[in-house]
Structure 1
Amino acid sequence: MADVNPTRMELMKTKERIALSKKGHKLLKQKRDALILEFFKILKRAQDLRGQLTQKMDSAYQSVRIADIYHGATELENISLGMKKQIDIDIEVKNVMGVKIPSLTAKMDLVPFIQNPGYSVIGTSAKIDQAVGEFEEILQMVIKLAETETAIKRLILEIEKTKRRVNALDYILIPKLEQQKRDIAFRLDEMERDSFVSLKAIKRKLDKQKS
């Protein structure tokens, strides 16, 4: 009980600190549990996105193979080189239990194929349209996957940080304060007993002097 005065005031302050620490401990546990729930929700979303992305990539490459059969590799390459795409990504930040999580939205402006001098509009443009459309979807999915994986990393860091704080209260601060409270109470009882014994001794001495 170093550097702690065994007084009634100190005992009261220690009890208040214990109550405050327990309240903080409860709130931190609630935050930790909410973060873990959010983590698993976003993890499930990321797993679903990965599965969808794999399927979409298989489909997109199949569309490219079909377009290649109809147009040939040289024409596809010329069209791809002539296409101009402007991609703007808007970033918004969501706050989840104190964790800043980015929300990404991609906006893509594509020069229409009809404006592309390397592209022929006779008969088979739908094949390339389909391939391009699928790869645009893939890009959107990759951006969303990046968003979810960033969220997962940030949530993991915050969960670990919150766990450390909960454990510090659980195993260090609250036990230390509880022990401090017991030590002060014990010392106060000891002082009261000493005082009582001293008073009795004084009373006996006074009684002797009177008799």
Structure 2
Amino acid sequence: MAGKTINPTRMELTRLKAKQKTALRGHKLLKDKRDGLMKQFMQEVRRTRQLRKRVEEGLAQANAAFTVASAVMSPEMLEQALMAPRLSTEVTVDQRNIMSIAVPVFHRAEQEAQPDLACYGFAQTSGELDDALQALNRVYSDLLELAQAEKTVQLLAQDIERTRRRVNALEYVVIPENQRNIRYITMKLEENERGNTTRLMKVKDMVLQDAHHYKS
């Protein structure tokens, strides 16, 4: 029996067959999209792992240099040395398309107030502070790239989940229900056809009896 009340007519059968054809085509397209998204997702995950490792190593180097600098300099001198930065950084966000998903692209634009990265004099500061600032400057671009990669992975994962739910809905709900309804209507139409054939045969037999006055 059909899963819900339907009208067993040829028009309904034609409509359901067209709907089933569309569902099957959509199911294939969504499966192809899901597979493509999974491939892209795994590539982005590998890239994110490499970037995270590089960022963690860079931050560890910068932190170690700051630790040494803070050990050989007084807190007041360290704070004064870092009070007036020479670089101002602006981050702009664009978008790129990955399989109909808009993912962010971060761009770093620097405006240099002074020709040097160091924002302090060298007389009362340590070389470790120079190393720490240079390490932070190097890792900054990797941090932006890591943020971009992690956001891309998050957006891909969300779309993969949405696509997976749609594929499952078509595969386990819509397509089987259409198949059941098509079988139900087909069975009803065949049953009606057999009933009509039987009635026609009976009518024909009655007409012959009346015309020739005989009993079959």
Q: TM-score, normalised by structure 1?
A: 0.86
Determine the structure 2 residue equivalent to 1:138.
Answer: 139
Give the secondary structure class of the aligned counterpart of 2:8: coil
Determine the structure 2 residue equivalent to 1:86.
Answer: 88
Task: Return closer, same or farther for 1:74/1:97 CA change in 2, 3 Å cut-off.
Answer: same
* RMSD (CA atoms): 2.7
Greater percentage in helix: 1
1:64-143 correspondence runs (5 A)? 64-65=66-67, 74-112=76-114, 118-120=120-122, 128-143=129-144
The residue type paired with residue 100 of structure 2 is G
Cα offset for 1:137? 2.0
Asked if 1:63 is matched to 2:70, the reply is no
The residue type paired with residue 174 of structure 1 is I
Q: What whole-Å deviation, never above 9, does each CA across 1:70-116 have from its counterpart, x for those lacking one?
A: 76655443221122431211111112122211011222334337698
Give the secondary structure class of the aligned counterpart of 2:82: helix
Are 2:88 and 2:112, in contact at CA under 8 Å, matched by a contact in 1? yes
Distance in structure 2 (CA, Å) of the matches to 1:35 and 1:194: 53
Q: What whole-Å deviation, never above 9, does each CA across 1:140-161 have from its counterpart, x for those lacking one?
A: 2222222122112211111111
Residue segments in structure 2 that go unaligned for 5+ positions in a row: none
The residue type paired with residue 167 of structure 1 is N
Determine the structure 1 residue equivalent to 2:14.
Answer: 12
Determine the structure 2 residue equivalent to 1:183.
Answer: 184
Q: What whole-Å deviation, never above 9, does each CA across 1:176-202 have from its counterpart, x for those lacking one?
A: 111111011101100110001001100
Are 1:113 and 1:119, in contact at CA under 8 Å, matched by a contact in 2? no
Determine the structure 2 residue equivalent to 1:53.
Answer: 55
Give the secondary structure class of the aligned counterpart of 1:101: strand
Are 2:55 and 2:142, in contact at CA under 8 Å, matched by a contact in 1? yes
* % identical aligned pairs: 27
Give the secondary structure class of the aligned counterpart of 2:83: helix
Distance in structure 1 (CA, Å) of the matches to 2:149 and 2:52: 11
Give the secondary structure class of the aligned counterpart of 1:5: coil
Are 2:85 and 2:119, in contact at CA under 8 Å, matched by a contact in 1? no
Determine the structure 2 residue equivalent to 1:162.
Answer: 163
Cα offset for 1:8? 2.5
Residue segments in structure 1 that go unaligned for 5+ positions in a row: none
Task: Return closer, same or farther for 1:197/1:36 CA change in 2, 3 Å cut-off.
Answer: same
Q: How many residues align?
A: 210
